[in-house]
């Protein structure tokens, strides 16, 4: 057989590339010790437990260069992440010590189920704490708290717009919905399937549809905040609060979107949400320019490469991609999601862990850069989704 030399050299280059990338992937997965990372998280959390004041508060963040946690009470939007981490550690180890602590810190959040809704964050707060708790223990008291909170969250739904009002305290000249709100729909879906009103399902579904139709630019990058007319439901404008500019891709916003729409597909089995989650993941992965796959806090931040990273966005996306890969039939795409999710987790484990700097799991997250707050620091939601991603990876291996 006479083969064209050009074809032969192209074929060899291709085979070389395939072999090298397979070898690289094998190296990443074989040298990565998942058990050791979980032990590391347990060790760090044990250190944190020793410094939490006995006043119902929980650890939120550690400023750059400091070793001291900033503590918050149950009303803070991040109050569910610490108890959520404790529940994940209980899941990872089966050690009753973690169950006891998780129960204690979850119960501090009980008033949220009987108070007026302050904002959309009730899902982050109550589902990450009591939701994980109920999943692991089937404690009926937790279920009651989750169901009551879902009804509370539903009071923020505006049927004229078709979304939940995310921030009642921020006016913006209309009904505002932030992309983060997608995450809190999981509480409503769960409640509707576990003894709550079927209306909660309809609200969550409508919120997801309205968001899908309005909250994204033509290239599938997300606005942070969408402002709608209260009465007509018409879209007024898309703006930012925590991103660089109204037109930029704020890394954690896109991360919430990828995770949120993947979860909505899981809950509804409606393919339009799966197709949409693929598009959101595509633009994030295509625009990710960092070697270690940990994004800058905003993909369009003007000072790149001298801008802070956001490890929390990477933790959220890695966890989401593991789930999205499980719904992906196309082999090449499935492989890409999994290998990139693993690479993000390996990067976080090798280069972003706190160790002796402080007792959080991770360094280098960015909370609210435009407000000058929580820049390049440790934050509890980065730790929560990092641990979740480790557990999802572990389930995958089993
Ligand atoms: N949900 C607020 C944030 O992502 O910072």
- Using CA atoms, how far residue 35 sits from 86, 244, 398, in Å, is 17, 37, 13
Identify the pLDDT of residue 182: 99
Candidate of 124, 224, 252 to mutate for ligand 1, largest count of ligand atoms within 8 Å of Cβ: 252
Looking from the CA of residue 368, the nearest atom of ligand 1 is 5
Identify the pLDDT of residue 398: 83
Both tokens of residue 181? 């709100």
Identify the pLDDT of residue 5: 52
Identify the pLDDT of residue 31: 74
Calculate the average pLDDT of the chain: 94
Question: pLDDT tens across 334-384, in order?
Answer: 999 999 999 999 999 999 999 999 999 999 999 999 999 999 999 999 999
Residue 207 CB–ligand 1 contact under 6 Å: no
Identify the pLDDT of residue 4: 57
Residue 309 CB–ligand 1 contact under 6 Å: no
Selecting among 103, 119, 121, 376, the annotated active-site residue is 121
Question: pLDDT tens across 265-322, in order?
Answer: 999 999 999 999 999 999 999 999 999 999 999 999 999 999 999 999 999 999 999 9
For residue 143, report the distance from its CA to the centre of ligand 1, in Å: 26
Candidate of 167, 381, 382 to mutate for ligand 1, largest count of ligand atoms within 8 Å of Cβ: 381
In this structure, are residues 159 and 233 in contact, taking their beta carbons and an 8 Å threshold?
no
Identify the pLDDT of residue 26: 46
Span 152-163, average pLDDT? 98
Looking from the CA of residue 121, the nearest atom of ligand 1 is 1
- 121 annotated active-site: yes
In CATH terms, the fold of domain 33-397 is Glycosyltransferase (1.50.10)
Cα separation, 70 vs 359, in Å, equals: 12
Give the predicted TM-score (pTM) of the model: 0.93
Question: Nearest-CA neighbor of 153 among 191, 180, 198, 179?
Answer: 191
Residue partners of 52: CB distance under 8 A and separation at least 6 = 58, 59, 69, 71
How would residue 19 be classed by pLDDT, with cut points 50, 70 and 90? very low
Residue 180 CB–ligand 1 contact under 6 Å: yes
Identify the pLDDT of residue 15: 41
Looking from the CA of residue 253, the nearest atom of ligand 1 is 4
- 180 annotated active-site: yes
Residue 374 CB–ligand 1 contact under 6 Å: no
Question: pLDDT tens across 93-120, in order?
Answer: 999 999 999 999 999 999 999 999 999 9
pLDDT at residue 23 greater than cutoff 80: no
Selecting among 180, 298, 310, 383, the annotated active-site residue is 180
User: What is the number of other CB atoms lying within 10 angstroms of the CB of residue 342?
Assistant: 21
For residue 397, report the distance from its CA to the centre of ligand 1, in Å: 31
């Amino acid at each position: 057989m006479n083969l064209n030399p050009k074809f032969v050299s192209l074929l060899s280059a291709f085979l070389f590339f395939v072999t090298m990338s397979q070898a690289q992937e094998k190296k990443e997965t074989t040298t990565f010790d998942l058990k050791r990372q979980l032990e590391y998280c347990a060790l760090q959390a044990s250190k944190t437990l020793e410094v939490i004041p006995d006043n119902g508060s929980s650890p939120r963040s550690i400023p750059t260069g400091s070793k001291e946690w900033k503590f918050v009470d149950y009303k803070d939007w991040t109050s569910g992440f610490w108890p959520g981490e404790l529940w994940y550690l209980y899941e990872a180890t089966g050690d009753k010590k973690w169950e006891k602590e998780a129960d204690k810190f979850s119960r501090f959040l009980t008033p949220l189920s009987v108070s007026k809704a302050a904002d959309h964050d009730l899902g982050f707060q109550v589902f990450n704490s009591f939701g994980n708790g109920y999943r692991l223990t089937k404690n009926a008291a937790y279920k009651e708290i989750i169901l009551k909170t879902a009804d509370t969250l539903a009071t923020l739904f505006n049927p004229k717009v078709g979304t939940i009002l995310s921030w009642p305290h921020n006016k913006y000249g209309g009904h505002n919905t932030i992309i983060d709100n997608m995450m809190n729909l999981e509480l409503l879906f769960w409640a509707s399937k576990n003894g709550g009103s079927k209306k909660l399902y309809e609200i969550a579904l409508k919120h997801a549809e309205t968001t899908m139709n309005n909250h994204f630019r033509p290239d599938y990058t997300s606005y942070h905040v969408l402002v709608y007319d209260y009465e007509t439901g018409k879209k007024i404008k898309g703006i930012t609060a925590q991103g660089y500019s109204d037109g930029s891709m704020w890394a954690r916003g896109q991360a919430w979107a990828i995770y949120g729409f993947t979860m909505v597909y899981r809950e509804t089995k409606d393919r339009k949400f799966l197709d949409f989650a693929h598009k959101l993941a595509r633009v994030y992965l295509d625009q990710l320019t960092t070697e270690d796959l940990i994004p800058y806090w905003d993909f369009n931040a003007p000072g790149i490469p001298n801008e802070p990273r956001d490890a929390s966005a990477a933790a959220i996306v890695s966890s989401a991609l593991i789930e999205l890969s499980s719904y992906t039939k196309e082999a090449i795409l499935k492989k890409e999601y999994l290998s990139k999710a693993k690479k993000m987790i390996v990067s976080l484990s090798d280069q972003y862990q706190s160790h002796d700097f402080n007792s959080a799991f991770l360094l280098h997250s960015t909370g609210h850069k435009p407000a000058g707050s929580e820049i390049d620091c440790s934050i509890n939601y980065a730790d929560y989704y990092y641990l979740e991603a480790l557990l999802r990876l572990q389930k995958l291996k089993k």
